[in-house]
Structure 1
Amino acid sequence: MSGAPQLLAGRTIVVTGAARGVGHAIALACARAGARLVLADILADRLAETAAAMAAQGHQLRAVPLDLGDPAAIEAFADDVGAHEGTIHGLVNNAAIATGIGGPEFDAIEIDTWDRVMRVNVRGTWLVTRAMVPLMQAGSDGGRIVNLASDTALWGAPRLLAYTASKGAVISMTRSLARELGPRGIGIACIAPGIMRCEATEYVPAERHALYERGRAVPGPQVPDDITGTVVFLLTPGALAVTGQTIPVDAGFVFT
């Protein structure tokens, strides 16, 4: 965007789950803030389309398909980024599985569903972080990591146990990693959005959307662009003092 502050100029940022929805909005905001991007997503064809559209707008980026459920794929992704970019300055752990919003109660969740959500949302976030940190340490700026959690983990959303538990784990990992990574000069923070109106949430029951839209301090729908400014700030060099924190970015549905 012409005239946008170049808060991320000269910085290379990795964004997972960047093919559509929230991840795409974050990637666009980072690009407009001057970042060079590495976009990753399991949706390879959609990722290629997104990358081509962004490149046509003049943004600098590469797109690399990535399955967070596959540890070998994550290792190969890290090798690829190391070979092409060398050093990165930021990581946005956005990719996740959100299944069953407003769906089955806790005792009706399939074990395979539970395991898949945990494999991608929790283990995948950990493995990507583990793989990217050495590339951050290679530079003079230790780097910044932003994890995407959910405010469902803050208010205890019903009929969504696997996802809520996984996002609670992401919040806990953020706190623990802040203490481990802080001495290395790496900051890590977490944002907790509410349900957003976007392609990825079209399946969410209307009553769940209505619950949020009535209950926010600023009533109405939330869209991906509502959270991108916070993400961009957390990726800047000046955000180190926010490390370990979880910030609800949900128009006041929950307060902490």
Structure 2
Amino acid sequence: MLDGRHVMVTGAARGLGAVLARAVVEAGARLTIADLAEEEGRTLATELGAGFVRVDLGEPESIKAAVASLDGPLDGLVNNGAIATGIGGIGFEDIELETWDRVMRVNVRGTWLMIRACAPLLRQSGSGRVVNVASDTALWGAPNLLSYTASKGAVMSMTRSLSRELGPDRIGIAAVAPGILTTPSTDYVPEARHKLYEDGRAVPGPQPPEDIAPTVVFLLSEGALTLTGQVLPVNRGFVFT
């Protein structure tokens, strides 16, 4: 489905990002992994026959340098990199300003800056695609997770707005909004929250990250342009839109 297309996945050294990276390669794409975790990222890149660029999504100059190192046109960008671990379980009155600002800097500003930096390369493709990884926490209003929920709500809004700015260049952009996945990054989530999701899904039970990959691969394909601007709640029916 992605034969001959060049795709970059951010935050791909581990967890959901690594699953998406594998799926992209299996679909025939040439992959570039972008991550701050250099050792893990390079190890996975070697395994998958992919390229690797180090990027700190909180630093604009790092984003510019990472994108400047890419070869030729870019057919797909997956904005998966984000701060998610260790920032939940706190009421809105107790969130530290530094934590709020760090989450917004990486999850919101970093996503915007990555798209801005990649836009010229996506235009060169003639059929560029962007997939933003949001979260269904922003669809149902998860409590005690305000900084993360707000950041992912912003990602959804950016997706809709950018679809109108990028559309004239035939660049499609969409977002996926999974629920809690069975990855190491969700080990800290209280068992009660896991159970809420597992019992509340239309298809009950846990959701592995591999669930998300087929949707992301399709959204990166040339045939996905009609879904530009859409937010897809890929959560086994926990939230409907």
Aligned residue in 1 for 2:21? 27
The reply to whether residue 123 of structure 1 matches residue 109 of structure 2 is yes
What does residue 78 of structure 1 align with?
67
Q: Aligned partners of 1:126, 1:42: CA distance in 2, in Å?
A: 17
| 2:47 aligned partner, one-letter code | A
Distance 1:197 1:142 in 2: 33
Q: Secondary structure at the residue paired with 2:69?
A: helix
**What is the alpha-carbon distance in structure 2 between the residues aligned to residue 44 and residue 200 of structure 1?**
18
- Map of 1:215 onto structure 2: 200
Alignment of 1:7-86 (within 5 A): 7-55=1-49, 61-81=50-70, 85-86=71-72
- Equivalent in the alignment of 1:113: 99
Task: Tell me by how many angstroms 1:101 deviates.
Answer: 5.9
How many corresponding residue pairs?
241
Superposed, which structure 2 residues align to 1:105-254 within 5 Å?
105-139=91-125, 141-254=126-239
Separation of aligned partners in 2, 1:213 and 1:175: 29
Shift of 1:137: 1.1
- CA–CA separation in structure 2 for the residues paired with 1:198 and 1:151: 16
- Partner SS, residue 56 of structure 2: coil
Per the TM alignment, residue 193 of structure 1 is displaced from its structure 2 partner at its CA by 0.2
Q: Residue 213 of structure 1 contacts residue 220 of structure 1 at CA under 8 Å; is this kept in 2? A: yes
Cα deviation per residue 1:187-228 (whole Å; 9 max; x = unaligned)? 000010001011221221111111111110000000110000
SS at match of 1:39: strand
> Which amino acid in structure 2 is aligned with residue 76 of structure 1?
A
Give 1:99 shift: 3.9
- The farther-off stretch of 43-52 and 170-179 is 43-52
Asked if the contact 2:13–2:37 (Cα under 8 Å) also holds between the matched residues in 1, the reply is yes
Equivalents in 1 of 2:124, 2:237: separation in Å?
A: 39
Q: Root-mean-square deviation (CA), in Å?
A: 1.0
SS in 2 for 1:68: coil
Structure-1 separation of matches of 2:122 and 2:143: 38
Identity of aligned residues (%): 61
Residue equivalent to 1:103:
89
Report the alpha carbon displacement of residue 53 of structure 1 after superposing the two structures with TM: 2.2
Give 1:48 shift: 1.5
TM-score, with normalisation over the residues of structure 2?
A: 0.98
Q: TM-score, normalised by structure 1?
A: 0.92
List runs of 5+ in structure 2 lacking aligned partners.
none
In structure 2, what is the Cα distance between the partners aligned to 1:23 and 1:34?
17
In the TM superposition, structure 1's runs of 4+ consecutive aligned residues that sit over 3 Å from their partners are 99-102
SS of 2:177's partner is: strand
